[in-house]
Every structure is written in structure tokens, then in C-alpha cells.
């Protein structure tokens, strides 16, 4: 794998009003026709909001006790298929999901709410949506795009930030994503909306909330073992969770488990960038009730 020739960076194009790359549209027919099952759990996020963290938590809650061998043999992206992905180095996400023999199936998506296959709504599936404040989300996405050959070239930070504000990102504007899913919560009662900042502040409390949403009642010991296993430093070292087995990511440029902090944006935004961002943010977010914290 190490000497594998890397494909060129993909181009962004408009797809049903959302910026996308071919990696997420090549398999579109199968994605739209995907047959969800009533007990499937959809983990939905904007990229870099804490998808892997929550995926790992859910995997441990459901299978940590019953299938401990998973913990040493199956990387997270095979346990929790990425529905719309078709990276050619792995089978497409729909195929991986169809092949899962576990119940429930945990399925990851970055799709904006309006593009999610309708069977998830028809089957009334549980959805866990993770959202992260825009500034830290943008910083994390920038470093990810530097090291991830499967996304367009990020350019320098200033250009990237402008692109983020313009919504010209893979999976579209952050603003539409977090507000679209927030609105869906009003009509789909089985949607649990989690904030990355809350998870950093008190992982144990958020675990309790997750368990209550999922109808799980792990023992105090099990809960403690999950909480311990999903700490940033532990996950960073865990080759089944840290994406170190993926050949299209160059960890020498930036690791997947980078900092895991709230407020790293302060190390990236200039005062002028921050002010411009805040002003634009107020306009874009004026019609929503969702509130984010940029510090904890
Ligand atoms: P940073 O780049 O800010 O460090 P995703 O899984 O959606 O791609 O999100 C990746 C981001 O979540 C990265 O943010 C990563 O470090 C952070 N992350 C992953 N596991 C974490 C954990 N256990 N605790 C805190 N942050 C975590």
C-alpha cells in the first residue's frame, strides 16, 4: 500500500445544489436506493465535527462486550461504513453496509439532510447528529484537506477560510448542514443532536444522554470502560480508530487525530479574519435557534 500511486486530487462540482466530488456521487443510484432497516443507526455529521469519536463510542456501546475481537481486528471505517463513499480502495459504502452482519448496523454519512436516502426516514431510524462550532470545524477541515488526497487541494488558510464561508466545501456549506439537521429534529423525534463542545466538556454526561436516547443501560463499569477507551490520547494511539491504515492520508503532513480541542481556531484566525467571519456568521445564522460555543 505504501508505494501505491495516489490518484490526482478531485474537483468540486455542483450536485443538486451542493458542492461534491465524484467520490461521493459515483455510486449515487445505489445510495438513493439504499434500503435502511428499522434498527439502523445513522451517524450524521459535517466533515470534521467528531464523526469518528461518536462512531467509536457507539461501536463500543453496542459491541464492546459482545465482540471484543472487533477492537483489535476491524478498523472503524469497516465497522461503521461511510454510506456515500466510493473511494475504490474499499468497496462502496452501500456495499459495506449491506454486508454488515451486526445488529444494529451503524452507518456514517456526511450528506446534508435533504440528500439522505428516504428509506432512513421511512424506517424511522435513529439518527445521531454531531455538530461542531464553525471556527474549529473550519480549522480541522483545513488540516484534513492538507493531508487527505481524496479532497480538493485546500490552498492557503486565507483562501480556504473564504471558501468555507462561501460554502464551496465538499458536502456544501457548514451553515446549511448544521441548520438543516437542526430543523429536521423538530419533525423526526428520533434524532439526537450532539455538540462536540459538550462532549469535550463532559464525555460522561454526553454518554449518559446518548444511552438514554438509544435505550441502552450499560453498567457503571461498562460505561467507564467506554469513556476511558474514547479519550483523545487513547484513540490517537489506537490503529483501529486513528485512520493510520488508510493509504490516501499523509500523517507526515497532519495526523487524523490532530488536537481534539475546542478553541484551536484562536491559533489560526487573525483578529481581522475572526471579525469578518463573525459578521458573516450572524447574517447566515440569523434565522436559526441552534447555538454554538467556540470556547468551553
Ligand atoms: P481536530 O482536527 O481539531 O483535532 P471527524 O471524525 O468528523 O473527521 O472529526 C475529526 C476531528 O475530531 C479531529 O479534530 C479529531 O482530532 C477530533 N477527535 C477525534 N476523536 C476525538 C476524541 N476522542 N476526543 C476529542 N476529539 C476527537
Pocket mutation for ligand 1, best pick of 82, 138, 140 (most atoms within 8 Å of C-beta): 140
**Residue 53, ligand 1, Cβ within 6 A:** yes
Q: pLDDT tens-digit profile of 36-60?
A: 999 999 999 999 999 999 999 999 9
- Cα of 238 to ligand 1 centre, how many Å? 13
Question: Can you state the percent helix, strand and coil of the chain, rounding each to 5?
Answer: 45, 10, 45
Catalytic hit among 22, 88, 110, 177: 110
**Residue 52, ligand 1, Cβ within 6 A:** yes
Class of residue 125 by CB neighbours under 10 A (exposed 0-12, middle 13-18, buried 19+):
buried
**Residue 80, ligand 1, Cβ within 6 A:** no
- Cα of 258 to ligand 1 centre, how many Å? 7
Q: What is the pLDDT of residue 155?
A: 97
Who has greater pLDDT, 70 or 142? 142
Fold topology of 19-284: Rossmann fold (3.40.50)
Q: What is the pLDDT of residue 1?
A: 43
In 10 A of CB 273, how many CB atoms?
17
> Band of the pLDDT at 247, cuts 50, 70, 90?
confident
Q: pLDDT tens-digit profile of 159-184?
A: 999 999 999 999 999 999 999 999 99
Q: pLDDT tens-digit profile of 131-164?
A: 999 999 999 999 999 999 999 999 999 999 999 9
Pocket mutation for ligand 1, best pick of 232, 233, 266 (most atoms within 8 Å of C-beta): 232
Q: Across residues 89-114, what is the average pLDDT?
A: 96
Residue with cell 447528529: 129
Q: Across residues 274-285, what is the average pLDDT?
A: 98
**Rounded Cα–Cα distance for residues 175 and 289 (Å):** 12
Q: Across residues 116-121, what is the average pLDDT?
A: 98
**Residue 259, ligand 1, Cβ within 6 A:** yes
> Band of the pLDDT at 4, cuts 50, 70, 90?
low
Contact 114, 142 (CB under 8 A): no
Question: What grid cell was written down for 273?
Answer: 479574519
Instruction: Return the ligand 1 atom nearest residue 49 CA.
Output: 7
Q: Across residues 10-14, what is the average pLDDT?
A: 98
> Band of the pLDDT at 290, cuts 50, 70, 90?
very high
Nearest CA among 120, 113, 128, 84 for reference residue 173:
113
Q: List the residue whose alpha carbon is closest to atom 10 of ligand 1.
A: 48
> Band of the pLDDT at 69, cuts 50, 70, 90?
confident
Instruction: Mark whether 110 is an active-site residue.
Output: yes
Model pTM above 0.80:
yes
Q: Three-state SS for 186?
A: helix
Amino acid at each position: 500500500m505504501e508505494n501505491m500511486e495516489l490518484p490526482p486530487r478531485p474537483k468540486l462540482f455542483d450536485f443538486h445544489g451542493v458542492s461534491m466530488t465524484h467520490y461521493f456521487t459515483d455510486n449515487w443510484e445505489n445510495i438513493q436506493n439504499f434500503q435502511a432497516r428499522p434498527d439502523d443507526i445513522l451517524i450524521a455529521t459535517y466533515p470534521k465535527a467528531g464523526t469518528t469519536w461518536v462512531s467509536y463510542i457507539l461501536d463500543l456501546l453496542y459491541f464492546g462486550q459482545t465482540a471484543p475481537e472487533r477492537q483489535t481486528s476491524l478498523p472503524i471505517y469497516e465497522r461503521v461504513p461511510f454510506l456515500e463513499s466510493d473511494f475504490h480502495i474499499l468497496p462502496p459504502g452501500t456495499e459495506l453496509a449491506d454486508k454488515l452482519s451486526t445488529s444494529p448496523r451503524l452507518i456514517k454519512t456526511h450528506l446534508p439532510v435533504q440528500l439522505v436516502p428516504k428509506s432512513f426516514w421511512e424506517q424511522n431510524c435513529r439518527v445521531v447528529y454531531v455538530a461542531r462550532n464553525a471556527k474549529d470545524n473550519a480549522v480541522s477541515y483545513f488540516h484534513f484537506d492538507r493531508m487527505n488526497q481524496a479532497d480538493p487541494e485546500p490552498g492557503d488558510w486565507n483562501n480556504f477560510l473564504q471558501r468555507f464561508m462561501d460554502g464551496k466545501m465538499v458536502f456544501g456549506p457548514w451553515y446549511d448542514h448544521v441548520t438543516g439537521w437542526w430543523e429536521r429534529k423538530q419533525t423526526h423525534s428520533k434524532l439526537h443532536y450532539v455538540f462536540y463542545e459538550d462532549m469535550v466538556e463532559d464525555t460522561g454526561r454526553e454518554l449518559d444522554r446518548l444511552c438514554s436516547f438509544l435505550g441502552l443501560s450499560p453498567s457503571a463499569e461498562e460505561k467507564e470502560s467506554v469513556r476511558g477507551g474514547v479519550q483523545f490520547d487513547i484513540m490517537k494511539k489506537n490503529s483501529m480508530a486513528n485512520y493510520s491504515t488508510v493509504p490516501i492520508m499523509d500523517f507526515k503532513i497532519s495526523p487524523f487525530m490532530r488536537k481534539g480541542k475546542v478553541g484551536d481556531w484562536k491559533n489560526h484566525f487573525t483578529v481581522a479574519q475572526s471579525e469578518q467571519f463573525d459578521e458573516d456568521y450572524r447574517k447566515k445564522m440569523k434565522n436559526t435557534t441552534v447555538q454554538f460555543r467556540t470556547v468551553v
